[in-house]
Amino acid sequence: MSAQGEVRGPVRWRAAMEAALYGPEGFYVRPGGPGPAGHFRTSVHASALYAGAVARLLAWVDGELGRPERLDLVDMGAGRGELLAGVLAALPPETAARVRPYAVERAAEPGGLDPRIRWVAEPPEGTTGLLFANEWLDNVPLEIAEDGRYVLVAPDGTETPGGPLDDADRLWLERWWPGAAGPDGGRAEIGRARDEAWAAAVATLDRGLAVAVDYAHTRDARPPYGTLTGFRAGRETAPVPDGGCDVTAHVALDACAGPGAALLTQREALTALGVGGGRPPLALASTDPAGYVRALSAAGEAAELTARGGLGDFGWLVQPVGIGPWPR
């Protein structure tokens, strides 16, 4: 790797991802262009119902905290600030007036950002409220292992075997990816860096709730060949660490979970937050045609957010800090 952070030859996947996503010309920090939303669609982009659900979750946290004078809302991997803008719009004015929103993002602040939003590179220390990470952990760079050795990758995506695993990564696989640490262990994704990143983010919260939402898998059903992939211009593609595409892998959320955490599907979490895909009564079409059309559209969006086999299968890691569990 060069001094500027560009990959020059085969390196381990974690270094290659770091350069491809966050280097000087990395996918997430390159100025101009459509931003990540131009390459893939998240729940935030699918429907305003998602921001509304997060607003209701923030209101629940607010109540648990006794409605403090200052209510922090920290968005990890904030993109262009779309989720924060949607949550602020969905909150009652009296609540929104107490909210201090932080967009945590390594890219430069975009133009036209709501002036209430503080744009920061790291989550602030000592917050009280809700820390929300929507599809952040899947872009935390990680190592790839195959048959007990690191996998090296060149800028064009060509892979070659690397050296043997160090003790910390081997122990992580032995605990969290059964059978993958040995010489015949096959391919696996070492999530230790994600565990550490999540623990560090949660540690910035004095009291409140930390939530990570992502493509996920658990110890009893790890994917046999891993999940590393790329996204370019709205299509899934080969994971080439050249800075021109997203490079992502699903998250072992069970390994990230701290004491008292709960693991839910997005379908379960959004249902608890009042997002449902039921069709409006047909009688409404006669009494309020415009209202019926709006309700029908909302039902379709809710169905997409909670669909089995789709967005509804996302994992939610819910970690309380100094408050009771959610949902109850």
Sheet (strand 235-237) strand order = 235-237, 229-232, 246-248
Residue with tokens 């045609």: 289
Residues 56-113: tens digit of each pLDDT: 999 999 999 999 999 999 999 999 899 999 999 999 999 999 999 999 999 999 999 9
The tally of CA atoms less than 13 A away on the side-chain side of residue 224 is 1
Distance CA(232)–CA(19), nearest Å, equals 17
- Is 50 within 8 Å of 305 (Cβ atoms)? yes
The tally of CA atoms less than 13 A away on the side-chain side of residue 181 is 14
Residues 46-58: tens digit of each pLDDT: 668 899 999 999 9
pLDDT of residue 4: 40
DSSP assignment letter at 251: B
pLDDT at 200 over 50: yes
Taking residues 17-23, what's their average pLDDT?
Answer: 95
Taking residues 148-159, what's their average pLDDT?
Answer: 97
pLDDT of residue 37: 58
CA angle, 189 then 125 then 259, to 5°: 50
Distance CA(220)–CA(315), nearest Å, equals 15
By three-state DSSP, how is residue 74 classified? strand
Structure tokens at 297: 């559209």
pLDDT of residue 3: 36
3-state secondary structure 174-206: HHHCCCCCCCCCCEEEECHHHHHHHHHHHHCEE
pLDDT of residue 294: 63
DSSP class per residue in 263-298: EEEHHHHHHHTT---PPPPTTHHHH-HHHHHHHHHH
pTM of the model: 0.90
pLDDT at 298 over 90: no
The strand pair at 149-153 and 143-146 is best described as antiparallel
- Give the H/E segment covering residue 255: helix 253-256
14-28, 78-92, 168-182, 266-280: least confidently modelled range: 266-280
Taking residues 239-258, what's their average pLDDT?
Answer: 96
pLDDT at 322 over 60: yes
Name the residue type at position 283.
Answer: A
116-130, 134-148, 242-256, 302-316: least confidently modelled range: 302-316
Taking residues 275-287, what's their average pLDDT?
Answer: 66
Per-residue pLDDT band for 38 (boundaries 50, 70, 90) equals: low
Q: 134 or 283, which is more confident?
A: 134
- The alpha carbon of 115 is separated from its chain's Cα centroid by a whole number of angstroms, namely 24
Residue with tokens 């935030």: 44
Q: What is the mean pLDDT of the chain?
A: 89
pLDDT of residue 62: 98
Residues 221-235: tens digit of each pLDDT: 999 999 999 998 878
Name the residue type at position 171.
Answer: L
pLDDT of residue 49: 87
pLDDT of residue 42: 75
pLDDT of residue 246: 93
- Is 91 within 8 Å of 99 (Cβ atoms)? yes
Given CA atoms 271, 46, 121, 169 in this order, what sign does their dihedral have? Answer: positive
Distance CA(44)–CA(280), nearest Å, equals 23
pLDDT of residue 311: 72
3-state percent helix, strand, coil for the chain, nearest multiple of 5 = 35, 25, 45
* Closest by CA position to 20, among listed 32, 10, 6: 6
